[in-house]
């Protein structure tokens, strides 16, 4: 038993060491990924459930790693937030998404573009200027940009974050609270937050018609949106039943695999045309 214990201890040390080295390597690769053009964006359609029209798209980052293949954002965004790389990466996402929105508008499809804003980006003093100059550079009307922020990124930096969200609002930029209901939030603060949209997290949508608690949570968010005059968008809609339920219950917007997976830029417009029956 003694040797067994020691062996498993050594095994443990070795695997932790290995894991740490793999992490360091990933971090090193992450630091050069931008200059090596390894990132690209995909776009997930957002659908108005009343009209059945695509009203916009959420831009989502992808990392094509030369050896690992596609690395999911959940594996590298937290790392990029820790080491600060999220700032230049986030600027690149914003620029790329606005460039794409301008191109779609030029080709007769003026859609709203939603971009995820990390807590680290929101804490930058220059963030408002960065966003505004990106819009000017691509000649995008501010009302066509939506920034997705999480409750937690606002709550952990409340006064400063509210000040910046107010500046965005003054400029006409829209703000959505992402992953609503999963972080720590308070209704008192939500009332003070200058936001226009609540996003129901996919964890509540997945079992919407199976799990009564999830049904009640989704209902509560929809009702909250109504009483605070915020539009509500459900993410992770995968079935016709979920879509029907949300639409009947008064949720205005939705996105999810039921409509479309996030698409490369080149496939997006033809999807929209087909979806609209053209
Ligand atoms: P999120 O912002 O909550 O994005 C929703 C995630 O759900 C996306 O995962 C999307 O591809 C996925 N999804 C969409 N429809 C469905 C569906 O019907 N079923 C299921 N199961 N999933 C669906 P993705 O693209 O892997 O992104 C994961 C997270 O990474 C995002 O969560 C966001 O927090 C972060 N992220 C992605 N792109 C960016 C970015 O450009 N900047 C920042 N700061 N974060 C990003
Ligand atoms: Ca999002
Ligand atoms: Ca989410
Ligand atoms: Ca998220």
How far apart CA 47 and CA 162 sit, in angstroms, is 28
Probe target for ligand 1 pocket from 72, 115, 116, with the most ligand atoms within 8 Å of CB: 116
How far apart CA 127 and CA 138 sit, in angstroms, is 17
Whether 116 is in the pocket of ligand 1, judged by its Cβ within 6 Å, is yes
Q: 185 C-alpha to center of ligand 2: Å?
A: 17
Tokens of 124: 């930058």
ipTM: 0.98
Indicate whether 2 pLDDT > 50: no
Q: How much is the pTM?
A: 0.94
Characterize the bridge pairing of strands 69-71 and 53-65.
antiparallel
Answer for the pair 257, 224: CB distance below 8 angstroms, yes or no: no
**Residue 8: pLDDT band by 50, 70, 90 thresholds?**
low
- 3-class DSSP state of 68: coil
pLDDT, one tens digit per residue, over 156-196 is 889 999 999 999 999 999 999 999 988 777 787 888 899 99
Q: Determine if residue 172 is left, alpha or beta; phi over 0 gives left, psi from -120 to 50 gives alpha, anything else beta.
A: left
Helix (H) / strand (E) containing 62: strand 53-65
In the prediction, which pLDDT does 197 show? Answer: 97
- As residues whose CB is below 5 A from the ion ligand 4, the structure lists 179
Whether 74 is in the pocket of ligand 1, judged by its Cβ within 6 Å, is yes
Q: 118 C-alpha to center of ligand 2: Å?
A: 10
Indicate whether 33 pLDDT > 80: yes
Q: Among 116, 115, 180, which Cα is nearest to 152's?
A: 180
Whether 44 is in the pocket of ligand 1, judged by its Cβ within 6 Å, is yes
The mean pLDDT of 97-111, rounded to a whole number, is 96
Tokens of 85: 């790389």
How far apart CA 261 and CA 255 sit, in angstroms, is 9
Lowest-pLDDT range of 48-52, 92-96, 148-152:
148-152
């Amino acid at each position: 038993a003694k040797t067994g214990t020691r062996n498993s201890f050594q095994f443990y040390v070795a695997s932790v060491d290995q894991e740490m080295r793999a992490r360091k390597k990933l971090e090193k690769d992450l630091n050069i990924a931008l200059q090596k053009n390894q990132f690209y964006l995909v776009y997930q359609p957002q659908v108005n459930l009343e009209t059945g029209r695509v009203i916009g798209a959420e831009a989502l980052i992808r990392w094509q790693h030369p050896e690992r293949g596609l690395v999911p954002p959940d594996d590298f965004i937290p790392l990029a937030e820790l080491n600060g790389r999220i700032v230049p990466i986030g600027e690149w996402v914003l620029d790329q998404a606005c460039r794409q929105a301008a191109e779609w508008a030029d080709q007769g499809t003026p859609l709203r573009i939603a971009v995820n804003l990390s807590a680290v980006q929101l804490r930058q003093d220059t963030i408002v200027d960065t966003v505004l100059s990106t819009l000017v550079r691509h000649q995008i009307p501010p009302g066509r940009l939506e920034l997705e922020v999480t409750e937690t990124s606002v709550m952990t930096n409340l006064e400063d974050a509210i000040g910046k969200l107010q500046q965005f609002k003054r400029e006409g930029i829209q703000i959505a609270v992402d992953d609503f209901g999963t972080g720590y939030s308070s209704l008192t603060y939500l009332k003070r937050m200058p936001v226009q949209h609540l996003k129901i997290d996919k964890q509540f949508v997945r079992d919407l018609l199976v799990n009564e608690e999830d049904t009640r949570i989704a209902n509560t968010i929809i009702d909250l949106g109504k009483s605070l005059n915020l539009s509500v968008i459900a993410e992770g809609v995968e079935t016709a039943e979920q879509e029907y339920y949300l639409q009947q219950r008064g949720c205005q917007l939705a996105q999810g695999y039921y409509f479309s997976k996030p698409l490369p830029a080149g496939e997006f417009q033809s999807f929209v045309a087909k979806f609209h029956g053209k």
